[in-house]
Chains A and B, each alone.
Chain A
Amino acid sequence: MRFNTDYRLNRHHKFKQNDRKYVADLETNAIVEVNGVEWDILQRYGMQTQYQIVEALKGKYKVNAIFDGIARLERLGKHGQLLTQIPTSAKQPNALQPIDHKPKILVPFEFTEEKSSLDYITHLNRFQLLTALTESTLLETLGFTNAENGSGDSKNLEALGDIRIRQIESGEKNTFTSAWYAREGYDGMLLLSQSLTDNLSYYQIPDVPIVHCIENTQKLQNSMLETLLHLHASQKESDAFVVKASWMKEWLSEFGIPERHLCVIPEGINVVQPISKALAKQHTATLFHKPMFTQHPVVGLISGFEPNQGAQWITEFAHANRHLAIFVYDSVLAQHYKNPPDNVVIFGADSQEMASILPVFFQALDLVCFPAMPGTPCSVVLEAMAYGVPCVAMTKYGLPPEVSDAGVSVECQWDNFGNFHVPMRELSATINAGLVPSDMRAAFEGVARRFPQKYTWQKTAQKLTQLFEKNQSLETGTHQTAVNLFPPIFCRRYNPNTFETTSDAYRLGINRYEHLEKALGETLLTQHKTAEVASVFKHFKAKTSIPTSTQFSKNDGFQSSPWEPNDIDESGEQLNQSQIQQPLFRNYEDSEAKDISRNRVIRADAA
């Protein structure tokens, strides 16, 4: 899969003779006969991108014929005719020019279909984010209309407000997926959908940096890690996941997603004109028919638990702290956990109306308690604290930076299967201590009261825009063209010394065998990212008992057995292309310099 232009067009002269079309390559003196579509492509090649060429010619030719024409011309280029392969070193990352206009961002519309599987607040926040982003960016989404029956899905899109809709006619003549239209004209892409299948095709697009906002909501939690690991395999250098809470970043980096692909940008928070705490407690007690909320300290628990685990834990916690009135924010349990202990109320905002009461309950709180785990919505925690409420965070890694100086943490453990373990006695002690008025508590309250200024949608939008601008300057190409004059042929080989048949790679041109694994790595790298290739090799390493003499590592390249690829190491650093290719080339040089001198020249270009 090569999307990038790896060739430049030679100086040439086109002419027709006897109804046939010819191109004379003035650099190699060759004459090549071309067909109509190739003739038209040559008119544009090098000046237009593949996308532009296809879009320009698709009225005149079948789309497949245009792709085939480009492929054939590039095949000629591979054989040194008409086109010349551009050495990788000479390729400019095409995005070095800074964005000097409002960046134009594509927001694929698929996320609107997730509405039913999200809680109301998560859904609401998406629109607040988009609204804030329209200040600094030009947002566009794709709308498909069917020319034949006039139908389209613009219905969903009406709700998107300031987002421009780019109408694309779908129908028989247009068989592209929406990803095709993302290929050009955008400075970046903002993905909001959490689904693997919605997004995977957008990740195949070269040159357009992707910022993908990852939700922390328990409804999406089960399959989320897997989805993110898969999407990460497709990430370009210039792509990033935006997570809304620091604990999401910690969680994902634990599973091997490097920190440079993870950016923490908290959401803006929504606050209302405050009322007095006593009044808020009064309202809360009335609305839930729980008089104890006016008499006892009120502790808010912003949940994020896997539902079964959550119900058990909340019950346990409530029994251990019967003197506390406990307000739980959990949109799943609010619907399903009907008979919680007496001192517990569970609330979930699943409509605009209910979301508008939420600030009343938050203002009744004396303390906010939350587990720093993937399902816990950070913005809700911050909103709950914004009226001057300190927090006790149940965390693996200490107090999350979002709430620093506004609370304390209790160390706990959780894993990816919803198992959550917190020392209940220690937690209760910390909470009770936190409820007692003190200088420290007063200081926490002061910090929390400044949250509304700290977490605004403007700031969120600004950080996102900056992220787009920063990533724009990174290498955006998906794949490096493998510069290889002599392709390997994978074949079986009978060894007359051992009487055994093995699989090897036979290198054309050089006419000799080499390790299958090395050639395999090389072949895979022409289509896949380094981390993907490492995945393949680690998979086989785990499965086979092939003795490994050398490792796939920064120092050895794919030398003899890549089944043991060097890990994406502790620092989360991936191997990059040149690190793999250079040693390869050096090994060649040492041992078989004569044989491959031609090959080496080419590789030297690449390195």
Chain B
Amino acid sequence: MFEEDAAFYAADLDKATIVELSALMVDILKLAETHTNSEIVEALKTSYVEADILQAFERFAELEGAGLLFNRGEDLKETAAIASERRKLLVAIPGIATDSFFDIETLSAGTNMAFSYMFKHLTKYVDLHFTGNRNRKIADNLYEVDISVVDFGRLSRNINETYFGILTLHRDHETWLLPLYQHIELPPILVQCHAPRGHGGEALNSILRHYAAMRDFDGFTAPSDYVREFYADYVWDVSFFNTLPNGVDSTLFRPMNKQKAKQELARHVGDDRILTTPTVGYLSRVESEKGASVYLKLAELNPHLLFLIAGPSLGRYASQDLPDNLIYAGFHPRKALPMVYNAFDVYCFLSMSGEETFGLTVLEAMACGVPPVVPNFDGVPSVVADAGIVADAENFQHDIATFVSYPSPIDFSKQINRLLNDDQRRESLSQKARERALSFTWDKTARRIVEVFEELQEKRRLVSPNRLLNVFAPTPPAETVHDLGSRGPAHQVRQESQYKSIVLGMNERYEPCLIRDAAYPLRVEDGLVLSILKDHTVREAEAVLTAVIEDETEAKATLKRVCGLIQATA
């Protein structure tokens, strides 16, 4: 509490805010920690009207309601102090109840499931602090922290002191994350790149905005190298895209007795054909972008095979006439999924969506020893490698909605039949699939995250401020263009003025930074980059250069040159 200009204030350091108090409130606060309300009324009623005292209590109740001055929750500092000196990551997933990540049964989307595994393994290496609005311990090495602090400056400083990095796992990045890059104090931010393409260009543009706004020590994670390759056409520095493959729980997902699995599923579904007919499996939401229509076509093309759909519901396909050899196997809880996978002879993955950078179900099927047939686009072939069949797909150069590809039903049909007719090959692929799946572990994923943050921290240490000064100026027309024989009036030989930029030997803090007192000429383009890099990122300068220099090689060289100059003179 302090007094300033005859007014009383109480400072709530946890909330980084102050509250103006009346004299009465000050007196109450002095007694509050050691006395009950009635004792306080008793003590103060000689100096104040009782009704005023009660009103003051109401005001305090309001403040408490707003979370100010009084803290009835757990004190995170104490909780965190018990925790070791382990490194801490701040996990930002606004808008999603943190607890939901730890109840795997309720998770249906592959992405959230992946997060859940990832967090569990990450806590082996770091403490995870989820952003929220109260301080509490969720589980070992897992906390929720209140970040609703008014003082962003202080918050960012605290975040910087406390955290090794910020992991963001949220789709709606635009509104809250984009402005955060402006705060140089914040530790490295790693952004999950969910959908590298699709959504009619929206996904691409969102990533491009983040790429531009990111500080030099932020980055994306993407499940496969494909994302990096895809973006090589749009950005100059693909090192911002860090490949972070998913893992698979290979103790849950493991090969079982195939016949037994088929019997169990047959019983569950009530269709004995599963026991006798070669089975092609499909485990996904039944939607057009997941390739449901292609799957239907495959069933029509192959009446001699059985096509099994496992998913939450049939969606709009429920009202269609489905081929007789297509069976809806219903929704299965997670622990029953290995049985479902094991009942398949071939796993068929047909997603056409631009968000499919990995294909988690493919890996689960592989872990169960089921050879997959996947379309030749985006990230999935790199997961499968030689442990499955890659079938033809039309890859669209420009997407519509979320559709970025169309898997060829004919080729899929051909590949599936070949595989089902070749027991030896199927057997060998089954083994390979299991072996390959074993190499994808969540532990690796978790270690890779820590490693990426370490790399980003390293980059951060190398960031140099740009304090160079430069001016733009016209230059007199060059003498070389002048016809020496001419004796005409000056204005006739005057060429159009040219311009250049000059970098000063003194920086904006008045320190000599090039050879003393010198000033060096630069091209306007170089000067432009130098000016932009005062308040904007290298990636933004990249975007500007693309617009002003046609030749990309030259543009890249310009950027490198100016960045080098800034680094060298910092």
Contact = CB atoms under 8 A, between A and B. Distances in A.
B150 A30 contact: yes
A24 B9 contact: yes
Interface in A386-433: 413-417, 419, 421
A232 B473 contact: yes
A416 to B, nearest CB: 6
Interface stretch (B208-216, B418-426, B438-446): B208-216
Interface string B173-186: 01100110010000
Contacts of B204: 494
Contact of A31 (B17, B209, B547): B17
A317 to B, nearest CB: 16
Interface stretch (B49-57, B118-126, B310-318, B501-509): B501-509
Q: 6 tightest A-B contacts by CB?
A: A491-B212, A233-B473, A415-B490, A180-B510, A496-B201, A490-B540
- Helix, strand, loop or mixed for chain A's interface? mixed
A1 B469 contact: yes
Given A490-B540, A492-B543, A527 B531 contact: yes
Contacts of A491: 208-209, 211-213, 539-540, 543
A303 interface: no
Interface string A161-181: 000000000000001110110
A494 B506 contact: no
A196 B505 CA distance: 11
B517 A177 contact: yes
Contacts of A33: 16, 154, 157
B543 A490 contact: yes
B48 interface: no
Nearest to B541: A490
A287 B488 CA distance: 40
A533 B539 CA distance: 22
A1 B470 CA distance: 10
Contacts of B473: 229-230, 232-234, 532, 535
A15 B524 contact: no
Contacts of A320: none
Contacts of A421: 487
A501 B543 CA distance: 10
B534 A527 contact: yes
A506 B211 CA distance: 12
B153 interface: yes
A494 B157 contact: no
A564 to B, nearest CB: 13
A493 B506 contact: no
A606 to B, nearest CB: 17
Contacts of A496: 200-201, 398
A493 B212 CA distance: 11
Given A415-B493, A491-B212, A230 B471 contact: yes
A503 B546 contact: yes
Interface in A270-293: none
B312 to A, nearest CB: 31
B103 to A, nearest CB: 34
A226 B475 contact: yes
Contacts of A31: 11-13, 16-18, 151, 154
6 contacts: A1-B508, A11-B5, A201-B506, A204-B504, A495-B201, A536-B528
Nearest to A67: B509
A508 B490 contact: no
Contact of A63 (B18, B234, B509): B509
A539 B208 contact: no
A528 B531 contact: yes
A292 B154 CA distance: 90
- Counting chain A CB atoms within 10 Å of each CB, the highest count among B510, B544, B548 belongs to B510
A4 to B, nearest CB: 13
B540 A489 contact: yes
A523 interface: yes
Contacts of B175: 511
Interface in A506-558: 506, 508-509, 511, 516, 520, 523-524, 526-528, 532-533, 535-536, 538-540, 542-544
A186 to B, nearest CB: 15
Interface in B111-156: 150-154
Interface in B313-334: none
B16 A32 contact: yes
A107 B568 CA distance: 32
Interface stretch (A73-81, A322-330, A375-383): A73-81
A149 interface: no
Interface in A298-340: none
A523 B472 CA distance: 14
Interface string B381-398: 000000000000000011
B151 A81 contact: yes
Interface residues of B, number: 88
Nearest to A502: B547
B209 A489 contact: yes
A11 B532 CA distance: 35
Interface in B461-491: 469, 471-477, 479, 482, 484, 486-490
Contacts of A523: 531-532, 535-536
B89 to A, nearest CB: 23
A504 B205 CA distance: 11
B504 A200 contact: yes
B70 interface: no
Interface of B: 2, 4-5, 7, 9, 11-13, 16-20, 150-154, 157, 174-175, 178-179, 182, 200-201, 204-205, 208-209, 211-213, 234-235, 397-398, 469, 471-477, 479, 482, 484, 486-490, 493-494, 496-499, 502, 504-506, 508-512, 517-519, 524, 527-528, 531-532, 534-536, 539-541, 543-544, 546-548, 550
Nearest to B179: A508
Interface residues of A, number: 86
- Counting chain A CB atoms within 10 Å of each CB, the highest count among B16, B471, B536 belongs to B471
Contact of A32 (B151, B510, B534, B543): B151
B309 to A, nearest CB: 32
A539 B484 CA distance: 26
A539 B235 CA distance: 26
B258 to A, nearest CB: 46
Nearest to B233: A501
Contacts of B174: 511
Nearest to A418: B479
A535 B151 contact: no
Contacts of A508: 178-179, 182
B179 A538 contact: no
A524 B182 contact: no
Contacts of A233: 471-474
A33 B16 CA distance: 9
B516 to A, nearest CB: 8
A30 B531 contact: no
Given A230-B502, A499-B398, A523-B532, A516 B488 contact: no
Contacts of B474: 229, 233, 255-256, 535
Interface string A1-32: 10000000001010101000010111001111
A37 to B, nearest CB: 14
Given A30-B151, A415-B494, 8 more contacts: A31-B154, A177-B512, A233-B471, A491-B213, A506-B209, A516-B543, A535-B524, A540-B524
Contacts of B488: 413
Contacts of A528: 471-472, 531
Given A30-B151, A229-B475, A419-B487, A201 B212 contact: no
Given A175-B512, A489-B212, A535-B473, A198 B517 contact: yes
Nearest to A224: B476
Contacts of B544: 490, 503, 516, 520
B471 A234 contact: yes
Given A26-B18, A79-B153, A536 B499 contact: yes
A177 B510 contact: yes
A438 interface: no
Given A421-B487, A503-B546, A520-B544, A489 B213 contact: yes
